[in-house]
Amino acid sequence: MLEISNLNKTYPNGVQALNNVSLKIDKGMFGLLGPNGAGKSSLMRTIATLQDPDSGTINFNEIDVITQKEQIRSLLGYLPQEFGVYPTSSAEELLNHLALLKGIADGKERKNMVTNLLELTNLSIHKKKKLGGFSGGMKQRFGIAQALLANPQIIIVDEPTAGLDPEERDRFHNLLCQIGENVTVILSTHIVSDVSVLCKDMAIMDNGRVLVQISPSMAIEKLKGKIWKKIFDKNDCQQTSKYKIISSRLIHGKLMLHAYSESLPDNGFELDVPDLEDVYFAYIKKIIEVR
């Protein structure tokens, strides 16, 4: 269990990135949703011991993450949002070097681990290829391979599918699901569908605060019977101000609205089946009460 209690962080420029953040994260895939600037990356960097909070605590089992950095680093795998590689090194060479830095001194053990990780991430056939020639998806898979070195108990991945094409995204989803069966994986993202597909538990953050921690299925269940849709002419958008609008999008020149209401908002609205995107916008727009 990873337990985060009353975490606060304000940067020198005055931005409060973390505002009294508390979470309990168990084994499996955990999704951290929020818009850009919500504080997700600040929280990930703090858990990964790359920065200290101003106050609060983080504990993983018996380890104090803030004061026992070396102990937690030996159990941690991290794929940051911006993951750089040495372009002239091959996947096999760099992974071997990183394994050595992780303290895997035995040559045979290191070779077996590198071979297994390249196979797990579907990079075996590219192991001699220079990393500078890798596609975005291949670099992300290599990033996961290095995060898995030394069998970590906690894996943090920050915006891992941003910029990937649909095929690479599916492949990456499958890989994360496989990994998340045995360890704690924290997936930080602004892509709602990633959390919907992968995670059994999640939290939504905005402006440095945790708005809610809940399972995706329970969050959707709570919105059943309360999400309504209606198509408006795009020139009639003034009429929409009286509704609690969750989201809107243009479809063939018409405006499709999703609104939150305990009962039928108005003639012409139809009851819709809620999804995790409705949950996300309902909390971000403060349409439903935060905890």
* C-alpha–C-alpha distance, residues 184 and 65, integer Å: 15
Listing from the earlier edge strand, what are the strands of the sheet with 254-260?
A: 244-251, 254-260, 227-233, 270-271
* C-alpha–C-alpha distance, residues 211 and 204, integer Å: 6
Q: How far is CA 70 from CA 23, 54, 56, 63, 227, in A?
A: 22, 20, 19, 10, 48
pLDDT of residue 169: 81
User: What structural domains and CATH numbers belong to the chain?
Assistant: 2-215 (3.40.50.300), 225-273 (no CATH)
Buried b / exposed e over 29-65, threshold 16 CB at 10 Å, is: bbbbbbeeebbbbbbbbbbbbeeebeebebbbeebeb
Q: Tell the burial category of 204 from Cβ atoms under 10 Å away from its Cβ (0-12, 13-18, 19+).
A: buried
pLDDT of residue 177: 85
pLDDT of residue 28: 92
pLDDT of residue 232: 83
**Tokens linked to 167:** 């095929």
Q: How do the pLDDT tens digits run along the chain, 291 residues long?
A: 899 999 999 999 999 999 999 999 999 999 999 998 999 999 999 999 999 999 999 999 989 999 999 999 989 999 887 777 788 999 999 999 999 988 888 999 999 999 999 998 889 999 999 999 998 888 888 988 898 898 899 999 988 877 778 888 888 888 888 888 889 999 998 889 889 988 999 999 999 999 999 999 999 999 999 999 998 876 666 666 788 999 988 888 788 889 999 999 888 899 999 999 999 999 999 998 765
